[in-house]
Structure 1
Amino acid sequence: MAITFPNEARSFDDKNRCVRFSGYDGMFEVKFYLATEVLACEKSHRNASESDYLTSFDTLRPRILKAAASAYAKEGSSAISLSLENFR
């Protein structure tokens, strides 16, 4: 079964500096952790707020979900970290 993203919820994890979101492979939840470096250019990265990261995530959602699906197809893990490498 392919991974789906029916839930649009996402949250900012300040401690780990990432945005968390979930996908589902059938009834199994897959947790994704998106590094903030993906969401902000270097110049504004240091000054970006939680709201900035979540807005950027929403703007880039189609691309992020495509990269997440690709990473899941390769790794098949229940927890996947996404970095800039996943978007090249």
Structure 2
Amino acid sequence: MTLGFPNPSRSFDETRNAVRFIGHDGMFEVPFFIEAGALAGPLRAPGRTGPGEADCLAAFDAARSSIHEVARKAYTQGRRPSYTLTAADFR
């Protein structure tokens, strides 16, 4: 099977400072996190310390297809209990 993202749900995980989303490989759920720093590039504005929850979720929605592509690539590199995507994954 291949990794798909049939459920568009995502949420902000304050503890991890990341957006959480779920992929599916057949009947298996695969949890992913994308760090706020990976979403922060276009959100950085003068005087801001970092993106908030609403900013992160909006940035995730705007870049959903590219985030899913990077998640698929990370998934093919080895099975893990969860995957955390960082800014380095998008270079």
Mark yes or no: TM-score above 0.5: yes
Structure-1 residue corresponding to 2:24: 24
Q: Which deviates more from structure 2 when the two are superposed, residues 51-60 or residues 69-78?
A: 69-78
Structure-2 residue corresponding to 1:70: 73
Is 1:83 the counterpart of 2:82 in the alignment? no
**Cα pair 1:20 1:31 within 8 Å, conserved:** yes
TM, length-normalised to structure 1 = 0.91
Identical aligned pairs, as a percentage? 39
**Cα pair 2:36 2:51 within 8 Å, conserved:** no
Q: Which runs of 5+ in 1 are unaligned?
A: none
Structure-2 residue corresponding to 1:33: 33
Q: Which runs of 5+ in 2 are unaligned?
A: none
Q: What secondary structure does 1:15 align onto? A: coil
CA offset at residue 14 of structure 1? 1.2
C-alpha distance in structure 1 between counterparts of 2:49 and 2:13, whole Å: 15
C-alpha distance in structure 2 between counterparts of 1:47 and 1:86, whole Å: 19
Say what the alpha-carbon RMSD is for the aligned residues. Answer: 1.5
Q: Which deviates more from structure 2 when the two are superposed, residues 5-14 or residues 76-85?
A: 76-85
Count of residues in Structure 1 that have an aligned counterpart in Structure 2: 88
TM, length-normalised to structure 2 = 0.88
Q: What secondary structure does 2:63 align onto? A: helix
CA offset at residue 10 of structure 1? 0.3
